[in-house]
Amino acid sequence: MIRNVILAAITAALGAALAVGTATAQEVKLKLHHLLPPVSHAHKNMLVPWSEKVKQESGGRIQIDIYPAMQLGGKPPQLIDQVRDGIVDIVWTLPGYTPGRFTKTEVFELPFMHKDIVSTNKALTEFLEKHGDEYEDYKVIAMFVHAGQVIHSAKPIRTADDLKGIKIRTPTRTGGWMIEAMGATPVGAPVPKIPEMLSKRVVDAVLIPYEVTLPLKVDEMVDYHTVLAGNVSRVNTSTFIIAMNKARYESLPADLKKVIDDNSGMALSQWLGEIWEKAEGPGRAKAEASGEIITMPAAEVAKLRARIEQPVIDRWIAEMKAKGVDGQALVDEARALIAKYSM
């Protein structure tokens, strides 16, 4: 009788172990947290297709549940710590929401550095392979940029001097430096704050691409949208990151790590560039239908460029020098990489 009880216990334990092993082999559930609503381009055209591709290529073994609009709590600047600390498994956010923390990749946000999304994405990805030490606590799935900042304003911005004295929202510290160099006042805030800031006239203008104006309904709050004449139509861009908790990634079996790796880095650069470029069209059309799109003349762009480009770059180089980093070398390298991928 005792022998039968022992055998039954062993059988039950083995069955439980096999059941756990089978469940683990069949399914890994990951939580992806981000700041924008489900109607946003980033959610429906980037994060959803990406997660579905990962699921398909893993044979259904990786399930990524997406939580938009900060549904899991916290504020947008806390996303990067949520993924580092394992509160969530993956986030999409902006490194610039934590000023002074991820400084090397800020080089791609400096004035007039950005050319087009695909070439900047590829340059940023290659740059990160060499200068990614600030992200060593994360599994970086992708770093990329948007199409560049359009000046969306309550009053028309036709000249460089029209920017003087107004309040402009920016997401990053280098963006703040750029706005100061314009003669304007920077107001830092994450994207979800924009509608409130515009409706209450906390700011007179915001710097964002056309695509994000749609979910925020910016066209209903401002009448003017200014781009720049010439081959560089946007004054600068912002960098984004899709980051995964490093321990969670390392806990995956080798074949599932490969699925994540195959959908990371340079493999994503082209696709991300294409979908973010395509997303500009509807936002631009809505802005044009409800207001005026202004192209700042070349002579005024030259004045603006002289006012902001080198002063902001010099300020960033000085900041990097204080950290023991050769900022000029990083500027030169970033420009060379963008040129390489623009050919």
What CATH number is attached to the domain comprising 91? 3.40.190.170
270 shares a domain with 288: no
Residue 9 placed within a domain? no
246 shares a domain with 120: yes
Residue 70 placed within a domain? yes
Residue 291 DSSP code:
S
Query: Which tokens hold the place of 210?
Result: 């056309």
Residue 65 placed within a domain? yes
205 shares a domain with 59: no
Residue 168 placed within a domain? yes
Residue 233 DSSP code:
-
Length of the chain: 343
34 shares a domain with 51: yes
336 shares a domain with 207: yes
Residue 129: Cβ within 10 Å count: 10
> For the chain, how big is the Rg over CA atoms in Å?
23
Residue 11 placed within a domain? no
187 shares a domain with 273: no
Distance, in Å, from the CA atom of 175 to the CA atom of 164, rounded to the nearest integer, reads 15
204 shares a domain with 113: no
Query: Which tokens hold the place of 7?
Result: 């055998």
Residue 119 near residue 341, CB atoms below 8 Å: yes
Residue 90, H or E segment? strand 90-93
Q: Which of 222, 251, 278 is the last residue of a domain?
A: 278
251 shares a domain with 223: no
126 shares a domain with 98: yes
* Domain membership of residue 76 as a residue range: 28-146+239-278
Residue 36 placed within a domain? yes
Cα 18-23-26 angle, rounded to 5 deg: 125
214 shares a domain with 117: no
In this predicted structure, what is the pLDDT of residue 343? 81
In this predicted structure, what is the pLDDT of residue 15? 47
Burial of residue 272 (CB within 10 Å: 0-12, 13-18, 19+) is buried
Pairing mode, strands 205-208 and 90-93: unpaired
256 shares a domain with 331: no
Residue 7 placed within a domain? no
Q: What is the pTM of this model?
A: 0.91
Residue 3 placed within a domain? no
Q: Which of 278, 307, 333 is the last residue of a domain?
A: 278
Among 165, 159, 167, which Cα is nearest to 189's?
167
132 shares a domain with 59: yes
Q: Which of 253, 278, 303 is the last residue of a domain?
A: 278
Number of domains present in the structure of the chain = 2
pLDDT in tens, the chain (343 residues): 444 444 444 444 444 444 344 334 548 999 999 999 999 999 999 999 999 999 999 999 999 999 999 999 999 999 999 999 999 999 999 999 999 999 999 999 999 999 899 999 999 999 999 999 999 999 999 999 999 999 999 999 999 999 999 999 999 999 999 999 999 999 999 999 999 999 999 999 999 999 999 999 999 999 999 999 998 889 999 999 999 999 999 999 999 999 999 999 999 999 999 999 999 999 999 999 999 999 999 999 999 999 999 999 999 999 999 999 999 999 999 999 999 999 8
